[in-house]
Amino acid sequence: MKRFSKCLLVGLIGNLCIGQIESRAELEVSASVQVRAVSDFHAPLTPYGTWVEVGSYGRCWRPTRIVAGWQPYSHGNWVWTDCGWYWASDEPWSWACYHYGSWTYDPLYGWVWVPGIEWAPAWVYWRVGGGYCGWAPRGPRGVVVAPRTFVFVETARFHEPVKPSTVIVNNAKIINQTTEIGSIKYENRNLGGARVQKVAINEGPGTDVIQKATGRAVSATPIREVVARTPGPRGNPANDGETGKNAKPPAAERNDSPEKPPFDKKGALQSPGQDKDISRSNPPQQSPTPNAPSAKPGKPRDGQKEKNSGKSKD
């Protein structure tokens, strides 16, 4: 009898695990990327960053060849789809780190990605109001995202490409004028396949608000079409034609605009300063310290770029 009970218990646990895997798999919409376990990310992401141990989060990934002041969801653009707002980026690892897992800022390593196997158009929090739209990367479960981690753009410019030189950061006035809206929700939808599937929906700012502010009509692009345009895993850059120092980073890594330095040791965002490549072959042994002169936080980077035109240093 005891042996039968043990077998029954093992069978029930097995069925529960299979059910969880199947539920998560339904959230995938890309036929070219199949993620079943966290280990599926290790090989594809290794050429573009380093894997580090970060406290209770375990093995996390941090990108290399990034400019000073980089943070998640700061190079790309928003696309309205039948699953809500999708973050499109030409960063070679965007297929993974903006649609699976979560981001957190570690005082030793800076921004690190915590792997996860659940897919969404984007894992962000939203704030809107006062003529501005803002977003911040969602942290791991139980982590409260500080308002200072939000980046903002004028709602009238929401449809434009995003880069660090065009966003507003750490502006208390805008933060106080905006409120957090929307959240990831789940719905059963037919996305052009043979069956209805459960998908994550990233609602964010309403299309009516965006259309009124930008003066442009917003229509939903099929999510499968948008995902198909996102570069998937490419393996080792050595197979892509150029290697080592001669390899050309994506546009996001070649940005010549003045960038904001990263967070200071207390976690506060710093003001925009000189552009600097902070890529390292090994993880830093201490918190990154900004070298750029401080400026008033909260001003759009475009203005800073004009002010510093012709004065940048290599």
Identify the band that residue 30 occupies on the pLDDT scale cut at 50, 70 and 90: low
Q: Is residue 12 part of a domain?
A: no
Q: Do the beta carbons of residue 109 and residue 52 sit within 8 Å?
A: yes
Quick one: pLDDT at residue 13? 37
Better-scored residue on pLDDT, 100 or 261 = 100
**In this predicted model, what pLDDT tens digit does every residue of 82-105 receive, in sequence order?**
999 999 999 999 999 999 999 999
Q: Is residue 10 part of a domain?
A: no
Q: Is residue 11 part of a domain?
A: no
Quick one: pLDDT at residue 114? 98
Q: Is residue 122 part of a domain?
A: yes
**DSSP 3-state assignment of 232?**
coil
- Between vectors from CA 276 to CA 272 and to CA 281, what angle results, nearest 5°? 135
Query: Is the pLDDT assigned to residue 166 strictly greater than 80?
Result: yes
Within 10 A of 216 (CB to CB), how many other CB atoms are there?
A: 12
Quick one: pLDDT at residue 220? 95
Quick one: pLDDT at residue 33? 67
Dist. CA 218–CA 205, nearest whole Å? 12
Single pTM value for the model? 0.68
Dist. CA 95–CA 79, nearest whole Å? 15
Alpha helices in the chain (DSSP H): 2-25, 42-45, 94-97, 172-177, 207-214, 223-229, 301-307
Number of domains forming the structure of the chain: 1
Q: Do the beta carbons of residue 92 and residue 234 sit within 8 Å?
A: yes
Give the residue numbers spanning the domain of 284: 21-303
Quick one: pLDDT at residue 148? 87
Dist. CA 61–CA 53, nearest whole Å? 9
Q: Is residue 188 part of a domain?
A: yes
Mean pLDDT estimate for the chain: 73
Q: Do the beta carbons of residue 295 and residue 303 sit within 8 Å?
A: no
Q: Picking from 23-32, 186-195, 279-288, which range would have the lowest pLDDT averaged per residue?
A: 279-288
Region 179-203 average pLDDT: 84
Quick one: pLDDT at residue 289? 33
Dist. CA 105–CA 112, nearest whole Å? 6
Quick one: pLDDT at residue 144? 87
* Residue-wise DSSP of 71-115: -TT-SBEEEEEBTEEEEE--STTHHHHTTSSEEEEETTTEEEEE-
Q: Between the CA of residue 294 and those of 151, 220, 257, 270, 312, what are the distances in Å?
A: 18, 41, 16, 7, 15
Q: Give the whole-number percent of the chain exceeding pLDDT 90.
A: 49
Q: Is residue 14 part of a domain?
A: no
Better-scored residue on pLDDT, 2 or 119 = 119
Identify the band that residue 310 occupies on the pLDDT scale cut at 50, 70 and 90: very low
**DSSP 3-state assignment of 265?**
coil
Q: Do the beta carbons of residue 57 and residue 114 sit within 8 Å?
A: yes
Dist. CA 141–CA 118, nearest whole Å? 13
Q: Is residue 111 part of a domain?
A: yes
Q: Is residue 127 part of a domain?
A: yes
